[in-house]
Structure 1
């Protein structure tokens, strides 16, 4: 270090002087300042004050805090901060890295079946609350609620068809799960479609469950939920539809006339009563989302074949005659018309028709009142028969991309 001329050292108890050679001498002073003339002096900055482990743990929770997605149609799982925003904390020391990663791995995305082995290795990092510090109030041991976002096919292993059906029970403290159920149908040995259960057991700790892009009946999922996690608080039952499947999957190419399984305004009250009977054992259920559109099943054809041409749609639509004819491919005219229907249904409407700032006026006039009446009636029945239920959601045709929601909130009187 170069020469220090008249360097003043404050009598601060946090000031550290180390590696000082004995030449020159430095007498302790009772006053605030000491003049130093020493060529061989190394000065270190004040040490970082010691922080209680509870406070560091609290800081880590703040930095790694996950938040609900801002888009209501997004996954049920929370959104973690960007790794670039927290890697400094996790890289500072071994202890801080473990503290940070224990929070980071509490929310994982499973993209392939092989990811399960990696995810299970992190299970030991998930801890549980054991009380709080009586002075600071900070938790002594933090419980990180585990959440898993499971992609399409991760619960299916062709080599072991049933091996993954109970994998979710291996995760302690599992709080929320989103499952892309698009693989719940397959072609069997006779090339016929068959349903399969992607999971046969769930951990009792589960409080939030989301199923997306399913083809099979909801009752199969509900049955498993009732058996294994009666404490469930939120349930989302989503379907594979013409609005989230571009182009059409093998199932809808084979069954293009069955879209009324999730789009119909007929018998909605009877459906609500039947569903409520199935869900009644879930005494803590507060939020229910259903992947159904309670509107006439002809709504899509009405819009795409008539409203686009600024024409009102007739009460009954014969799609064979309305869809413009093209040269049929090899296989005959009937097959050609069916392919045209599939193509017409599984297409995205432009934002000028159904976007953030525009909704087809003719569709609003045609289905808004009908749809709201069906939704209100069905929601009232469900909320009456399931006293704990605070919110019911339906899919909303009159929304951007047709993937928005209609919300029905129970009015709570105090």
Structure 2
């Protein structure tokens, strides 16, 4: 009797099942992801970011220098305009870019009207000078006549005095009558009166002659001043350089007709430069003359002070001028530069490096706490190009994310890995 078929059983080896192993690995990975999600849920984290993709800065206490960034160019501090002194036709002797020395002739203005007026006034001056000479001769002639009259009166007075003495002696000797004596006395009185009046007339005539001579001299001097002024204007028709430098722009054409005080050209004094900066109008009220300015020319940094502020705003910018306080051999006309205007210098200020996080208005920040960054409210104060003052929400040595928060979507907690 056969009990069973166990004697016929053969053990068969089953090949390894790779599919089960793969499924097991997937299950383990799912468990790890679930655990990670549980950790994140337990920590209120909603986003995960690589720490290398964000910028982190430490909150520190140090000096805060409030400054304003500006850009501009180098300009000549002395760039005068040359104007036409009179109306006429201009002949230019220089071209734009020519080097000139102070006193060099730049142009000549031809003014027929002014030249003709000078000749007319010179003719008037010659006539007045002739009148003055004639007045001198007339004064000498009149003086001679007056002297003659006075001398004749003096002779008559002397003769009357002699007749008076003779008559008095004769009357004592009874040689003449009383009537002859009285006639001699009357003749003396008449001679004395004539002499006295002659003296007064001569004195008055001399004063009159002196006055007329002085009036003639005044007319000549006045006319001489007119001629001198016209000479000065004619000499200024030769237009000369007022500074040593180069010719900037020619504002008129060769042989052009110009009016009085019309600009002809510009000169640029290359020995004195300033920086012209364009500052955003939002900082206009904080600018002040004498503020220190740090100028960046290529790889060189030089210092200056704010010397002028424009009273008007153009294209939402304010134009300022900076005078250099240190020397440099690399300054060139119209050279571009960047600058920092130092508005304020505060000691012991809680601050953090400035970054794109300020795009949120400076009211929130992500504070680093281990591998997490938590969103907290903050308030900021003064700002500079490189730093931001922290008024509340953070303490010294805290670390925050200073890069842009746009990618965080206002998450309360971030996981940094």
TM-score bracket for the superposition, by shorter chain length: under 0.3
- Per the normalisation by structure 2, the TM-score is 0.16
- Per the normalisation by structure 1, the TM-score is 0.17
Write 1 or 2 for the structure with the bigger share of strand: 2
Which of these two proteins has the greater Rg computed from alpha carbons?
A: 2
Write 1 or 2 for the structure with the bigger share of helix: 2
Does 1 or 2 have the higher relative contact order (CA < 8 Å, sep 6+)?
2
